[in-house]
Amino acid sequence: MSRKPFVGANWKCSLESLGEVDKLLEQLETAFAPADAPDIKDELDVCVFPPYVFLERVRRRLSSGFLVGSQNAWDAVAGYKCTGVTTAKMLKELGCHWVMLGHSDRRNTLGETDALLAEKVGMCLEAGLSVNLTMGETKEQRDSGKALDTLILQLSTVVPSVAKDAWGRIALAYEPVWAIGEGAQPCDPEEAQRIHAALRAWIRDNVGAEAADACRILYTGSVNEDNASKYGALPDVDGFIVGRAGLDSKKFISICETLLESKKAGSS
Ligand code: PGA
């Protein structure tokens, strides 16, 4: 395993009360701390992405092996003191390790552009955060044969914001927009591998071999405890971002264990 596998739980805004948050945190601690097993978090980066308002609580209550990430950061105009903004520096100060940028909820529903995301990526890296950059094509873009072109545009716009030695702090998440959420069909694993390999090859050709080897590429879209092994076995899939299954501690640990087993089997 040249790259450390990564699994992130994107809570979106599914939990809205402190009681719900505390309950899930307790369940995660129990699920990830079996007395008779080595700590899976030593071999796998496990990160939870709560909403801003719960970050402090999650960071304080979860044991130190878990990573904590923000679902967003906002630094629209550098140096401008903007109302209602949470900056990358604030997130770093709070003890966050990761920040998720570019989820389709923010690109397609809230209109975040590649140029804005490029700016945010640069600021987050500069503040010392690692960046989970989510990118993906819509159904229309896929149906018109533009899936890869769309992804390369999303990626290439952000590349100037990433220093050559910072690619180890980037985890791209391939998120076919048509594959996320209730009722969606996950992307066929072979197709996910084809896309991940193409993205890695693009980074190799346009940034360099070290960057391509260091950068993790995650799959996101209807990952669950039953299909995780199919993706985990793929050489260019370094882990997952999970939505719904990340709200259930038993499903979440099962996905983490399955990924790790698949990666170990693949490297032996
Ligand atoms: P899902 O969500 O795993 O519930 O499909 C993924 C996401 O939107 O990040």
Q: Tell me the per-residue pLDDT of 131-171, one tens digit each, with 9 for 90 and over.
A: 999 999 999 999 999 999 999 999 999 999 999 999 999 99
Nearest C-alpha to atom 6 of ligand 1 is from which residue? 243
Per this entry, what is the length of the chain?
268
Which listed residue (112, 175, 225, 257) is catalytic? 175
Q: What is the mean pLDDT of each run of 10 residues along the chain (268 residues)?
A: 92 98 97 80 96 97 95 76 88 97 95 94 96 97 97 97 97 96 92 98 98 98 96 96 97 96 88
Instruction: Please list every protein residue whose CB sits less than 6 Å from any atom of ligand 1.
Output: 10, 180-181, 220-223, 241-244
Residue 247 CA, ligand 1 centroid: distance in Å: 11
Classify 170 as helix, strand or coil. Answer: strand
Residue 16 CA, ligand 1 centroid: distance in Å: 18
Residue 11 CA, ligand 1 centroid: distance in Å: 9
Position 105 scores a pLDDT of 94
Nearest C-alpha to atom 9 of ligand 1 is from which residue? 243
Position 34 scores a pLDDT of 72
Nearest C-alpha to atom 3 of ligand 1 is from which residue? 243
Position 251 scores a pLDDT of 98
Q: How many CA atoms, within 13 angstroms, populate the side-chain half-sphere of residue 245?
A: 22
Residue 176 CA, ligand 1 centroid: distance in Å: 10
Atom of ligand 1 nearest to the CA of 244: 4
Measured in whole angstroms, the distance separating CA 216 from the mean position of its chain's CA atoms is 9
Position 36 scores a pLDDT of 65
pTM as predicted: 0.96
**What angle, 0 to 180 degrees and rounded to 10, lies between the N-to-C axes of helices 147-158 and 189-206?**
40
Instruction: Answer yes or no: 56 catalytic.
Output: no
Atom of ligand 1 nearest to the CA of 186: 5
Residue whose C-alpha is closest to residue 177's, from 108, 252, 247:
108
Instruction: Answer yes or no: 175 catalytic.
Output: yes
Position 76 scores a pLDDT of 59
Contacts of 12 (CB under 8 A, 6+ apart): 51, 71, 105, 243
- Angstrom distances, CA of residue 42 to CA of 32, 75, 92, 233, 261: 11, 33, 22, 20, 14
Helix (H) or strand (E) segment spanning residue 77:
none
- Phi and psi for 123 in degrees, rounded to 5? -70, -40
